[in-house]
Every structure is written in structure tokens, then in C-alpha cells.
């Protein structure tokens, strides 16, 4: 079982797949590039099938589900083989379902009050979203002194140029991004390019 998604790699690829047939070769390219944790977002009809394909076909990958916003999402993705869950935000109902799922989860926060509320519920690992729009690395740096027990995976608008400023922070375990899985590369099935971009991303925390 995954102990902490935040410690698997410096970058968590955020993947949107229109065709589940692309899931296994894409995951293999990411793993080969040094990014074993893969967040497949529930933004497409192919998402559940893609999660199942990666869980079954790429044993070295740690596949998770993103854009988890309902109890049904939790049940469906865990049944498909998701080994972690990521939500853009949270409610008490969603949090209870994620806690009961038996897999690690990163509930989304964008304010200090949301962080404190999660800490009150015993949750210390979170997604900071939308990172750049919500204050960026400067905001997370400001949280590190009063709330050092909270650790984050900031996601949203992060580029390879911006990632190092987040990764240098003591309360950031990894960053989420999609730049290593560009839509044109996936459409062209250019898995060698995905692997190269993944390798560059994996090296961001030297």
C-alpha cells in the first residue's frame, strides 16, 4: 500500500486520457522517466477504464484518481484499482468517504481555514489547488511556520520553471502538473517524448 503519495517522486503527473488504450503506454513512459505516481483525472469517460488498465498492466506504477468529488467517485475509482485519491476540494461527506476507502488521499485546500479544518480532522497531507491562482509558493511558505505539520502537493498552473520554487519549501512533498504529458504528444502517441519530459521533471529536485 502507498504510504505517502508526497514522497514517491518530486512531480505527480496529472493525466487526462480520452482513450483508455493510451493508458498503459503512457504510464510505462512516465515510470521509465522516474515518475511512478500517476493521477488519472475523472474528467473523461475513459478515466475509470484507464485507471484499471494501468493498475493491471503497469505494476511499477502507483495509479491514483484525480478530480474525486463524490462518494460514488471514491467507490468507483478504488474498485478500478486506484491506490490514492486526489480531490480539488473537500466536504465532510467526501472526506469521510476518502478516509473510509482504505487508500491514501489528498483533499484539496486553498485557504488557511481549510488547512486548519483538515488538521482538526487528523489529515496532514493535502493538495493545494489552484496553486498559482491561490497565492503560489509565497502562500505556502507563509503557512510553513504556523502550520508546519501540514504537507502539500500544490497543483494548478505550475510549470517546470515554477516547480523548483515550490519544491524548495519544507512543507511541499511534490508538485502536480501536466507539462510532461502534453496533449499533442499523447495524441501522437509519442511516448519517447513523454519519457524524456518525465525524466526532466523527476530531476527537478536534485
**pLDDT (tens digit, 9 = 90+) per residue, 116-167?**
999 999 999 999 999 999 999 999 999 999 999 999 999 999 999 999 999 9
The CA-atom distances, in angstroms, between 65 and each of 69, 85, 163, 165, 188 are 11, 5, 22, 26, 24
Does 39 qualify as catalytic in the annotation?
Answer: yes
pLDDT of the residue at 85? 98
Question: In the chain, what are the helix, strand and coil shares in percent, each to the nearest 5?
Answer: 40, 15, 40
Residue 206 has pLDDT above 90, yes or no: no
Percent of the chain with pLDDT over 70: 98
pLDDT of the residue at 2? 52
**Residue of 18, 39, 114, 195 marked active site:** 39
pLDDT of the residue at 1? 44
What average pLDDT does range 44-51 have in this prediction? 98
Percent of the chain with pLDDT over 90: 97
pLDDT of the residue at 205? 80
**pLDDT (tens digit, 9 = 90+) per residue, 77-99?**
999 999 999 999 999 999 999 99
Mean pLDDT, the chain, integer: 97
**Residue of 99, 127, 132, 189 marked active site:** 127
pLDDT of the residue at 15? 98
Amino acid at each position: 500500500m502507498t504510504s505517502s503519495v508526497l514522497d514517491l517522486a518530486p512531480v505527480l503527473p496529472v493525466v487526462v486520457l480520452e482513450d483508455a488504450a493510451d493508458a498503459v503506454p503512457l504510464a510505462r513512459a512516465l515510470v521509465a522517466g522516474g515518475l511512478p505516481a500517476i493521477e488519472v483525472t475523472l474528467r473523461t469517460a475513459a478515466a475509470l477504464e484507464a485507471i484499471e488498465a494501468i493498475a493491471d498492466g503497469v505494476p511499477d506504477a502507483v495509479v491514483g484518481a484525480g478530480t474525486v468529488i463524490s462518494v460514488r467517485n471514491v467507490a468507483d475509482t478504488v474498485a478500478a484499482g486506484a491506490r490514492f485519491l486526489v480531490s480539488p476540494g473537500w466536504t465532510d461527506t467526501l472526506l469521510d468517504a476518502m478516509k473510509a476507502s482504505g487508500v491514501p488521499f489528498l483533499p484539496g485546500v486553498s485557504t488557511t481555514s481549510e488547512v486548519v479544518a483538515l488538521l482538526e480532522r487528523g489529515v496532514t497531507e493535502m493538495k493545494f489547488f489552484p496553486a498559482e491562482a491561490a497565492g503560489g509558493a509565497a502562500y505556502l511558505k507563509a503557512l510553513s511556520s504556523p502550520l508546519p505539520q501540514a504537507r502539500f502537493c500544490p497543483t494548478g498552473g505550475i510549470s517546470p520553471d515554477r516547480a523548483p520554487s515550490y519544491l524548495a519549501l519544507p512543507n511541499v512533498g511534490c508538485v502536480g502538473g501536466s507539462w510532461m504529458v502534453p496533449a499533442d504528444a499523447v495524441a501522437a502517441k509519442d511516448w519517447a517524448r513523454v519519457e524524456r519530459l518525465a525524466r526532466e521533471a523527476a530531476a527537478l529536485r536534485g
